Structure 1
């Protein structure tokens, strides 16, 4: 990606790698160029190559030559980066018809199940709009967005933040795995049905965006091969899988079911970071029970960072590069390629041992400190051999610990675990 842009109002070239952007006489320049595109002229910043040569790679690929500036952090260092804005897209009649049909279907399903549904609902500020606002009995509000036309990643983030600020959980539904909504907000992908099929009673299965928690010990006898080496590793794996890839398989979730389950809190949104790169996250809808199991192991997920909360910006002081880098592996914030997780599982976490917090009965460091006569007396009471007597893992009392029919803890401690004490 080019490290500079052209300012069309001041007729100047801006170097994003310099602390003063190459213009010490304009102290307010940084604030001006980082203003969101919704609050400034869209054509304020231009690709340098396009300005100099009249064309650039992005324009040839169907994007606009206009740019936006954002922070991006890579390898612990934060830089200012420029990204091409997408060409403004007017929905086609077909896209508009699908959009209207999906809104009608969501509202119809919600009302049929006793939920409140408002089409084109607006928040108290009069500006924040939701395609369909579904409200459950407990007051949980789900803001459905039926997205059939192309949309920029920044628009998805901005509208999702606005919904969350008004107590609305956003839920984007799309028919494309290349939509910018994928992995950037709570989302669900369905098949590309026509508007008549969407309005019909035909089942609409959620193909992606809904996952289930899978936990297993990676042994040669395991039904699932190791997600890291394709064989087995004798470690513990935790990950989120599509219903068809769960063991045993889970039934698929249909859109109609998700309308009701999300409003009732049976399905909830999750933001799962990668184990080795916490800055890379996957977003999904999951059963609330699976969410709770995940939190028992790893704790609740952190909230998304607000815009502009990356670390201090690093200025590398490089020469201005006018070349258009569109299409390379860059930091383009409007790149519509979805940031997928693993092909089978997402949010994979692997451990050598079971995480300590999963042990409801705490591990004890004591042994059974008894005399030989006491051990023999305990064996007679427990109906076992003397060598089979050992300490309860919960309270340390003598139990039939080893050998045939041995137990890990006494009846009282097992009862406490069973009721969640």
Structure 2
């Protein structure tokens, strides 16, 4: 149902029309027969977003489907939207609070230029990350994949889907973070850690021999001798994810696939170097890989069956411009990484002081990358320049 969120002026306030019983719906249709004169049903979307009052028509089709529509020529249909629960609001409040404390911009219910693409919370740092909390099952024709495509097309760098339901996470067709289930007081408590149980992974690289203890993707009992890249569940909290995603420290791998996941920027570079640019964000599709149920209960993508051993000097998926990255950018990247690494052993005031040092180093790097990518002689985009610098630093190490 489109336009499902409505305000009822008879005292019931904001309701989701799909949740009304058959009797309540039939009574509403009868009472609202002359909608503009009766002034009973008001569009909640138009009122909440633009403070404009539109009186809605309500009726049922011959097949029993419920319909709520604007008057002719008044406004376009709005997509289905769940009524915000107390838990949903608490999650968004927490994300907004953590993001702003980290120095990012955080905008609630942010709308893109198309007027139809919204984010529960839009986090703006060096990257634009749209945070979406999903408490209810996805609706047909406007599911996670379609909403992710629209958000990426609206110049958002990434969409961070989050749920605390294993059923919703299992049915999602995009990269989705799943946290432990928490009650409202726990969500509102800033000291309570919301642990990410799925959707964040660590990338593994191993030489396929019998000594390594990994199962060979090619079925060789003694190992095939090739270099394989795969992933396993990683550990991160929701708060740490929010602190890192807008800064580009965690990135989505295959965001528009069911077995997509988030990984650290370093692990992301390893994955892209091995599997190529098809694993990059912003909607490009990677080759399909099969999942395998492991003994520990995690669903882990197995390695591709037809990839060749990794030979660095023969790689063709690394741009040649990597060798021409200015040393200034490489030194700034190395400096920022060094300052960030110091945060791991600090706490309290020392952590806050070092965090400011790291942020200054990161901002210097981002400014230099932006200035370099804007030159007429540079053919790469800003994102490609940034990734080339990180790749050059990792190869030097």
TM-score between the two structures when normalised by the length of structure 2: 0.51
Q: Deviations over 1:193-245 (max 9, x none)?
A: 111111112111111111121121232211334466595433432212112xx
Counterparts in 2 of 1:110 and 1:161: CA distance versus 1, 3 Å: same
| Partner residue of 1:286 out of 263, 271, 281 | 263
CA distance in 1, matches of 2:264, 2:393: 23
CA distance in 2, matches of 1:45, 1:290: 54
Matched with 1:349 is: 304
Matched with 2:233 is: 242
Question: What SS does structure 1 have at the residue aligned with 2:130?
Answer: strand
Question: What SS does structure 2 have at the residue aligned with 1:282?
Answer: coil
CA contact (8 A) 1:282 1:347 kept: no
Counterparts in 2 of 1:154 and 1:181: CA distance versus 1, 3 Å: farther
Matched with 2:154 is: 166
Matched with 1:96 is: 85
Question: What SS does structure 1 have at the residue aligned with 2:304?
Answer: strand
CA contact (8 A) 1:212 1:287 kept: yes
Larger RCO: Structure 1 or Structure 2 (Cα < 8 Å, ≥ 6 residues apart)? 1
After TM superposition, the structure 1 stretch with the greater mean CA deviation from structure 2, 160-169 or 140-149, is 160-169
Please state if 1:111 is matched with 2:100: yes
CA distance in 2, matches of 1:210, 1:45: 46
Which structure has the highest helix share of the two? 2
What is the Cα deviation at residue 291 of structure 1? 1.7
What is the Cα deviation at residue 350 of structure 1? 4.6
Question: What SS does structure 1 have at the residue aligned with 2:138?
Answer: coil
CA distance in 2, matches of 1:181, 1:418: 35
Q: State how 1:259-408 maps to structure 2 within 5 Å.
A: 259-271=242-254, 282-301=259-278, 304=283, 341-344=291-294, 345-346=300-301, 348-350=303-305, 354-357=309-312, 359=314
Counterparts in 2 of 1:198 and 1:218: CA distance versus 1, 3 Å: same
CA distance in 2, matches of 1:146, 1:418: 34
Counterparts in 2 of 1:296 and 1:228: CA distance versus 1, 3 Å: closer
| Partner residue of 2:206 out of 184, 208, 216 | 216
Counterparts in 2 of 1:347 and 1:166: CA distance versus 1, 3 Å: farther
Matched with 1:151 is: 138
Counterparts in 2 of 1:150 and 1:281: CA distance versus 1, 3 Å: closer
Q: State how 1:129-144 maps to structure 2 within 5 Å.
A: 129-136=118-125, 138=126, 140-144=127-131
Calculate the aligned-residue CA RMSD, in Å: 4.1
Rg larger in structure = 1
Counterparts in 2 of 1:119 and 1:353: CA distance versus 1, 3 Å: closer
CA contact (8 A) 2:175 2:258 kept: no
**Structure 2 runs not aligned, ≥5 long:** 1-57, 66-79, 295-299, 316-391
CA contact (8 A) 2:218 2:224 kept: no
CA contact (8 A) 1:101 1:195 kept: yes
Counterparts in 2 of 1:108 and 1:157: CA distance versus 1, 3 Å: same
TM-score between the two structures when normalised by the length of structure 1: 0.49
Question: What SS does structure 1 have at the residue aligned with 2:260?
Answer: strand
Counterparts in 2 of 1:355 and 1:259: CA distance versus 1, 3 Å: same
Q: Deviations over 1:100-151 (max 9, x none)?
A: 1100110111011111111111223333211011111x2x111111111122
Which structure has the highest strand share of the two? 1
Length, aligned pairs only: 239
CA distance in 2, matches of 1:358, 1:211: 28
CA contact (8 A) 1:297 1:357 kept: no
CA distance in 2, matches of 1:149, 1:257: 25
After TM superposition, the structure 1 stretch with the greater mean CA deviation from structure 2, 193-202 or 122-131, is 122-131
**Structure 1 runs not aligned, ≥5 long:** 1-40, 52-63, 65-87, 244-251, 274-279, 307-338, 361-415
Counterparts in 2 of 1:179 and 1:255: CA distance versus 1, 3 Å: same
What is the Cα deviation at residue 183 of structure 1? 5.0
